[in-house]
Structures are given as C-alpha cells and as structure tokens.
Structure 1
Amino acid sequence: MSYTEQEIRIAAKPLIELFGELLVWRWEEEKHVLLAEFASGKTEQVVAILNKYYADEWNRKSIKYAPNSIIQELANYAKLVKDQRAFTNSPSENKKSVVSLLWPWGHGSTLSLRLTLLETPYEYIEAPQSENLMSKVFGKVKSVFA
C-alpha cells in the first residue's frame, strides 16, 4: 500500500526527531517513502537509534519467519538481501507504525534509510537459531552411530 508523504511524516515524527541533524529526509516519489541517504561512517549512530526505537529487527534470514501480514504489507521491501535490515514495531489496533528499511549500497560507502508504514498488528516470532557447521556435523555423526 502506498502512503502519502504527510501520513509518513506525521507517524515518523518522533523517530525523525531522534535523528535530529544526523539525517536529512526527502520524499522519494517513485517509492512513496521518506528517504535519508548517509555515509557509512554514521551507520553505528543510526543503528543505535533504530535499536532503541524498535522492538523487532529483520534480516535476510529472519524475514522468512516474519508474520505474513508484514511480508504482504512490505511487498518487495520484504525481500531482504545481504546486510539489508527492516526494523518494525507492531501497530496498535487503530494506529499505524513506522517501518525503517536500512539498505547499504553496493560500494559500501553509502546507506539509505527508508520509512514507510505498517497497518496490521502482528506477534513477533523469533527465528530459530541456526546451528554452526560443527554442531551439524557432530549431530549427523551421532545419529549414524545411534
């Protein structure tokens, strides 16, 4: 779903204020999102703010376990690739929540942060912890001899 610049700016005002002068926001008309582009040297500060503001973080592995409502609402933005992350809070029954989408550029010196909205409340499901290679090998050996 597409949102207007005004809808996103109003909902994102508390988050935008946390960034202060660290980020400069503009409307990305083609994608209907607020956009800030910044140098990789600011990444640590930006992520620290995102971690304080959001309850949930998704990456290319964990997004597979996200509730269907998030996948459907974010559409193409839910197709995360290496180092891309989505930060979310579940919306309340009558209030949309802001989603932050962190996208490193291919050359590594610039990142984008896009803001859009979620409408449907969800329940966070933690992605299963993946075993390391040695645990998998020992598990298979153990099962062979069992």
Structure 2
Amino acid sequence: MNESQLNQLNHLSTAVKAKLPESLIWQMDNRFDALIAEIPKPKLVQVKNDLSDLFEHSWDKKTIRQAPSNIKRGAGTFSQMESGQLLFTHKGVSEQNCIMAAWWPWGPNAPVSLRLFVMDMQNNAVPESWFGRAKQFLLGG
C-alpha cells in the first residue's frame, strides 16, 4: 500500500472508527491493505450493532452469492467468506472511495478481527466481454 492509498484509507475510515468504541486499537494490516482492530468478546454485540447502523448491508457466506458483482469484486478476498464471517457494505456502491468492513471471528468464545478497507476499484472493473477482447486482438489494439 502506498502513502496515497494509506491516506485515503485513514480518511475514509475516520467516520466509521468514530462510531465504534474508543477502546479499539487500530493497526495497519499490510497483508490485506486494511486497518485492523481486535474486538474483545465483551464488545462483540455492541460493535456488530454499530456496524449494522453504519452500513446499509451485511453479507455472509450464503448471501454473498446474491451481492451485486461490483461488491463481490470490490471486496476481493473479503468476499470469499467462511461461516461466521461478515462483509459490511453500502448497497449498490460504484464510487471509488467506498469503505467496507470485514468481520472475521477467530473461533468459538474468541475475539473477532475487524478490518476496514477501501473497495478495490481495479478488481471492480467490469470485465470486458470475450467479443471485445477478440476484436481488440484482431485489430491489433
């Protein structure tokens, strides 16, 4: 993640972090280009409710199949969920500066990792049709 992307992530996540408990400690997660905080068990219900208030929709392992393709592509790895994981988004997002949240439980009676990340617009580009790719190849484009 370059400095511009980090600044964008910090800027876009400010409103979300402001609505969550101040006791959360946010760190950079370079593996996923996200901010991460550990949600202790006593705060799980509160934080999950706060996220439901902040985001228009939450997706789980079963419902992600019905999510718009731009959300699935924009969430990248976070759209490939296991049981208990959630993806919090705004419906019908298409703007480049969209924040998402990934809720990843560690296991029964364990804390949860909460990651905030910016929708990946490169993953979100509409794939070109095979016809368009063939035409480009034939015309030497």
* Residue in 1 that maps onto 2:24: 23
Superposed CA RMSD in Å reads 2.3
* Residue in 1 that maps onto 2:118: 117
Paired with 1:76 and 1:95, the residues of 2 have a C-alpha distance of: 18
Q: 1:84·1:103 contact (CA, 8 Å) conserved in 2? A: yes
17 and 61 in structure 1: CA distance in 2 versus 1, 3 angstrom threshold: same
40 and 68 in structure 1: CA distance in 2 versus 1, 3 angstrom threshold: same
- Give the drift of 1:92: 6.2
Number of aligned positions between the proteins: 120
Deviation sequence 1:14-55 (CA, Å, 0-9, x none):
111111413111111122100001212110110111011111
Q: Does 1:97 align with 2:95?
A: no
Paired with 1:105 and 1:40, the residues of 2 have a C-alpha distance of: 11
Paired with 1:108 and 1:19, the residues of 2 have a C-alpha distance of: 21
Q: 1:90·1:97 contact (CA, 8 Å) conserved in 2? A: no
Paired with 1:71 and 1:15, the residues of 2 have a C-alpha distance of: 21
The equivalences for 1:1-146 within 5 A come to: 4-90=5-91, 94=95, 96-118=97-119, 119=121
- Give the drift of 1:115: 0.6
Deviation sequence 1:79-102 (CA, Å, 0-9, x none):
111110010014766552210100
Give the residue type in structure 2 aligned to 1:60.
K
The percentage of aligned residue pairs carrying the same residue is 23
Extract unaligned runs of 5+ from structure 2.
125-141
Give the residue type in structure 2 aligned to 1:22.
S
Q: Which of these two proteins has the greater Rg computed from alpha carbons?
A: 1
> Which TM-score applies when normalising by structure 1?
0.73
* Residue in 2 that maps onto 1:143: none
> Which TM-score applies when normalising by structure 2?
0.75
- Which SS does the other structure have where 1:27 is aligned? strand
Paired with 1:67 and 1:94, the residues of 2 have a C-alpha distance of: 14
Deviation sequence 1:108-134 (CA, Å, 0-9, x none):
3111000112256xxxxxxxxxxxxxx
Q: 2:61·2:82 contact (CA, 8 Å) conserved in 1? A: yes
- Which SS does the other structure have where 1:60 is aligned? coil
Q: 2:71·2:93 contact (CA, 8 Å) conserved in 1? A: no
- Which SS does the other structure have where 1:22 is aligned? coil
